[in-house]
Each structure stands twice: as C-alpha cells, then as structure tokens.
Amino acid sequence: MHMVLKRKQKREYCKDLKIVRGVFDERTLLVLYRLLNKDKISAESLIKQGKESVILSGKTKEGNLVAIKVYCVEACDFKTMWKYLIGDPRFKNIRKNRRAIVKVWCQREFKNLSMAYENGVYCPKPIDFMENVLIIDFIGDENELAPRLIDIIPEDPEELYKIILENLKKLVNAGLVHGDLSAYNILFWDKPYFIDLSHGAMIKNPLALELLRKDIKNVDAYFSKLGIKTDTEKTYKELEQLIKEKVTK
C-alpha cells in the first residue's frame, strides 16, 4: 500500500473500524487498518480505554482471539518514556518528538514481550506491531478479558506467589526486569500473566536494580495483605546476584 493516500481513500480504508472512529487520530486509524489487513485480523470491540492506551479485541482468520493495544500518541507521557529509552542500548538515535518516541515505545514492548515469552515467562505471546499499535494474544475468552490480580482473591495465594517469583527469575534469565510489576499488571487466567512490559529494562541498564526492587516490593505488598509471609530483601538479593552473574559473563 502506498504511503501517500488521499483523504477520501483514507476514509475508505478505515470504514470497517467504526468502533474506534472518534477515539484515534486519522494516522492511527490508517496504521490500524494496515496492520490488521496485513495480519488478516478483524477488530471486534473496544474492551478497555486507559489514560495512555486503548485495548481492542480482535480475531484472526482462524477465529483466535487477539488483543490490539493502541498507544494514544497525544495522551502518552513521552518525557517519562524518554527517560527509559535513553538507557536502552537497543534503541539509538531516537528523534525527540512525541510520535517518534511512542513508536519506539511500542516496538520496545514488542521486543520485551518476545524476550520474555521465548524464555518461558507467563505473558501474552507477541504477534506483530506497527508504529503505535501492538497485537498480542488475548488472555481470557470471548466473554471477558482476564481479571487483574488486584481485582480477585486467589484460591491458593501461597502457590500463586511462588509462581510469580519463579517468573520474575525467568524474566531476569531472559535479560530483563519488568520495571512496572504489581497486582495491577498481572492478569490471572488459570495462571498469572505478566503484562505491560513497555517499562521493562535490560539487566545491564543502570536502572535495572532499582526497578527490580520496586517490582518485588509491589508484589510482596499484595501478598502480605493476603497473609503470605514474604521476604523482599531475600528475594531481591537472590535476583541481584543472578543479574551480577549474567552481566559479568
């Protein structure tokens, strides 16, 4: 598809995305159409509208559910994004304007999810991305999105806590720390799924240990309220040592 399109053509390309007309700017609608058309995915419904992003449900041609995450360019906190991006060696020579930063931020989440998923971390499988639009596996079923951990009371919190710590370790083994992990960024659907990995930092990043400690504190705060015995410092020391061993190899 040619990049330069007449206004009338753009309207035609976006006509089957009525569920989001009025939510996104025209460029985002065009990106959505191009990406969904490329991957043969249909947009089904708007399922969550947050401060900086919107989540749509979609279906592949085989009928499999996917989640379509769209970063709202004008609403994103690009100054905070920039702070994280400048410490990431994977992204260099980034233009310091809002759309360029959001575009790299979306690519960053795709890369982080790929690293995590390939190393066995429980997280949505990344499928594709383009500019400010990311497609991942849908966690849940046709009737509902999986609930966040903060919104449920787990039947076996002690076992769940162990699984989450195991996945924190897997994430470090993948070369990442989550950077924004809490009961708000873990979905539960038979098992916990880490989501929102856009803040994820490489373990060589100077911010990595600080972010790791914050992640552990957040997780421990949730489980402590459920009566689970936690030891933030012990968990931190174990993962800190693992990071040091991996970084010095």
Active site residues: 180, 196
Nearest CA to 136 out of 235, 236, 241, 35 is that of 35
Locate 156 and state its tokens.
């076996």
Backbone dihedral region for residue 174 (phi beyond 0: left; psi -120 to 50: alpha; all else: beta): alpha
Query: Distance (Å, rounded) from C-alpha 16 to C-alpha 10?
Result: 11
Query: Distance (Å, rounded) from C-alpha 45 to C-alpha 42?
Result: 10
Nearest CA to 71 out of 56, 54, 46 is that of 54
Locate 215 and state its tokens.
């992640």
Locate 188 and state its tokens.
């539960």
Query: Distance (Å, rounded) from C-alpha 141 to C-alpha 144?
Result: 6
